[in-house]
């Protein structure tokens, strides 16, 4: 028995060593990927500092009533973040893909344990655990060593819940999404759900702000008895003299983790086999139009720019990941101002609106990665960088600019300032133009490969957070870069639209020129970067 346990432990730790070696090999000889990995590590350190400080403040202030509200709500947000943020924004770490172990003689419990331990050894899990140690700090100050021990137990069980929940859901999707249509539908639905998290949180905060403190505490108490909030309130229970609640909450969390592990185990074998089968083919009458007429829209110019733009429009409408990006933008653009106004910030809704123009270009931060090795066609046909950049930006603008018009109208009406609609649209054009000016060069210099679409949420090894940082930096740069137009439109609203149009257009032309020059010099490097290995 002892020898069997030792062998099992060695096998499980082999997964950790394998993950470390694969990650190290993916960084070797690739300075850009190393830089992004380091930036991701720094972002994780920042998350640790902010999270630990937030959870530790109630203990430093000696305010248990604040902790009893903060910890359950913080736990709910943390677990939901582990569920949705990797799926839609950072990608799921696919360094150890279960399909890679399909031919090895590994028992299912061993494989699950190895994958789980390898996930716990990743940067997101370590950062999450370090941040939640702030709850242990507060519990120690409020209730002494016993409360600190209960808080540590809760932080560990909460981390296990986050990791197992994320992995189980991914495995279930790999099993359920067998057809292309099912995968597309699931991606869009998840994009809608994930994009709704922010507006729902703002709405909830507005309702909590209007509610009395007793109501807020009652909601937090209920959240503390759910599997999402229970792990992070155990230390507070001991500090408040409710030690009897700790084993019950621990049982709730462990039962949830056990259920998720069983679910994961049932779907893992099918996930290892991969998606199989295809839906019935579509039948229909043949299109008798000329090939060029089939490609171009009626309004498209009959030249290379029109052909490339029409192709990109079809890609944005049909390709799953691009459609998910558009859905996320639409949800954030329309419902963020609405939820802000509903929360009691009608004037603040206009402040959120100009952020939509900065968020919109992020979908182009890895525009060449969407195509992968198919980008070789553009390289072989000698498409100039200037034509490539302008056609891609034009196709994106055909979807984005009408949305900006809608956001400006909705924001002005919700805020009770219809006279500010035109100026608001001008500020969003300015932020959109500045955002494009920053994102287009980033898409050339920091392109990276996306995995095959058999798993729409997977991400190749190398650090998803680090790969997302250039786009987030462009978002911040667009907001700061457009501040002169925002201030001018606030002082003289009638100048908002013309100045925003000129300012954003000039910024876009400058960024597009820089990106085109870089692309002409780096086309082979871009193709190598976006080709999956």
pLDDT tens-place string over residues 236-278: 989 888 888 899 999 999 999 999 888 888 777 665 555 433 3
pLDDT tens-place string over residues 486-501: 888 888 888 888 999 9
Alpha-carbon distance of 372 to 527, in angstroms, equals 7
Q: List CB contacts of 424: < 8 A, sequence separation 6 or more.
A: 350, 353, 354, 408, 411, 412, 489, 496
Tokens of 181: 């249509």
Determine contact, residues 355/435, Cβ cutoff 8 Å: no
The SS3 call for residue 47 is helix
Determine contact, residues 194/88, Cβ cutoff 8 Å: yes
Alpha-carbon distance of 196 to 187, in angstroms, equals 14
Of 491, 390, 467, nearest to 436 by C-alpha is 390
Q: How far is CA 216 from CA 70, 210, 222, 278, in A?
A: 10, 10, 10, 50
| Segments making up each domain of the chain, as ranges | 2-273, 291-530
Give the 3-state secondary structure of 428-455: HHHHHHHHHHHHHHHHHHCCCCCCCCCC
The SS3 call for residue 36 is helix
**Per-residue pLDDT for 192 more than 50?**
yes
**Per-residue pLDDT for 90 more than 50?**
no
Among the ranges given (37-41, 209-213, 271-275, 468-472), the one the predictor scored with the smallest mean pLDDT: 271-275
pLDDT tens-place string over residues 101-121: 666 777 777 788 888 888 888
Ramachandran quadrant class, 194 (left: phi over 0; alpha: psi -120 to 50; beta: rest): alpha
Q: Work out the pLDDT band at 439, boundaries 50, 70, 90.
A: very high
**Residue 172 parent element (H or E):** helix 123-176
pTM above 0.75, yes or no: no
| Helix 346-359 and helix 464-481, axial crossing angle in degrees, nearest 10 | 120
What is the phi/psi pair of residue 486, to 5°? -60, -45
Residue listed under structure tokens 């609640």: 245
What is the phi/psi pair of residue 52, to 5°? -60, -45
The β-bridge partners of 458 are 92
Q: List CB contacts of 346: < 8 A, sequence separation 6 or more.
A: 340, 414, 415, 416
């Amino acid at each position: 028995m002892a020898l069997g346990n030792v062998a099992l432990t060695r096998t499980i730790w082999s997964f950790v060593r394998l993950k470390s070696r694969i990650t190290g090999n993916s960084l070797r000889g690739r300075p850009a990927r190393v830089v992004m990995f380091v930036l991701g590590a720094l972002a994780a350190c920042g998350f640790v500092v902010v999270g630990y400080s937030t959870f530790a403040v109630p203990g430093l202030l000696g305010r248990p009533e604040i902790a009893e509200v903060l910890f359950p709500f913080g736990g709910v947000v943390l677990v939901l973040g582990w569920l949705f943020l990797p799926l839609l924004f950072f990608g799921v770490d696919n360094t150890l893909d279960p399909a890679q172990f399909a031919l090895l003689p590994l028992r299912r419990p061993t494989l699950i344990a190895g994958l789980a331990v390898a996930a716990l050894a990743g940067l997101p899990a370590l950062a999450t655990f370090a941040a939640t140690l702030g709850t242990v700090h507060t519990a120690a100050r409020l209730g002494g060593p016993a409360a600190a021990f209960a808080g540590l137990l809760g932080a560990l069980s909460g981390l296990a819940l986050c990791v197992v929940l994320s992995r189980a859901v991914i495995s279930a999707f790999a099993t359920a999404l067998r057809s292309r249509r099912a995968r597309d539908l699931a991606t869009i639905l998840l994009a809608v759900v994930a994009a709704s998290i922010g507006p729902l949180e703002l709405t909830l905060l507005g309702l909590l702000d209007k509610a009395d403190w007793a109501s807020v505490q009652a909601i937090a108490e209920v959240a503390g008895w759910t599997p999402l909030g229970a792990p992070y309130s155990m230390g507070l229970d001991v500090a408040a003299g409710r030690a009897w609640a700790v084993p019950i909450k621990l049982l709730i969390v462990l039962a949830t983790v056990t259920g998720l592990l069983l679910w994961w185990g049932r779907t893992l074998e099918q996930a290892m086999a991969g998606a199989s089968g295809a839906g019935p083919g579509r039948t229909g009458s043949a299109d008798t139009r000329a090939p060029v007429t089939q490609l171009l829209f009626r309004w498209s110019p009959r030249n290379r720019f029109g052909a490339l733009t029409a192709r990109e429009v079809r890609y944005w409408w049909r390709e799953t990941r691009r459609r998910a990006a558009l859905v996320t933008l639409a949800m954030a653009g329309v419902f963020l101002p609405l939820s802000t106004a509903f929360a009691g910030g009608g004037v603040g809704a206009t402040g959120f609106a100009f952020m939509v123009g900065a968020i919109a270009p992020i979908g182009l931060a890895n525009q060449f990665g969407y195509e992968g090795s198919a980008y070789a066609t553009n390289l072989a046909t000698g498409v100039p960088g200037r034509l490539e950049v302008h056609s891609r930006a034009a196709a994106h603008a055909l979807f984005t600019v009408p949305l900006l018009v809608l956001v400006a109208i909705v924001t002005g009406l919700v805020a009770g300032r219809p006279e500010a609609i035109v100026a608001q649209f001008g500020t969003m054009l300015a932020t959109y133009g500045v955002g494009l000016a920053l994102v287009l060069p980033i898409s050339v210099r920091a392109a990276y490969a996306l995995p095959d679409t058999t798993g729409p949420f997977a991400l190749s090894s190398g650090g998803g957070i680090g790969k997302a940082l250039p786009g987030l930096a462009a978002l911040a740069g667009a907001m700061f870069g457009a501040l002169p137009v925002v201030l001018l439109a606030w002082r003289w609203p009638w100048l908002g639209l013309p100045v925003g149009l000129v300012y954003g257009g000039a910024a876009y032309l400058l960024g597009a020129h820089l990106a085109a020059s870089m692309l002409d010099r780096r086309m082979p490097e871009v193709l190598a970067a976006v080709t999956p290995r």
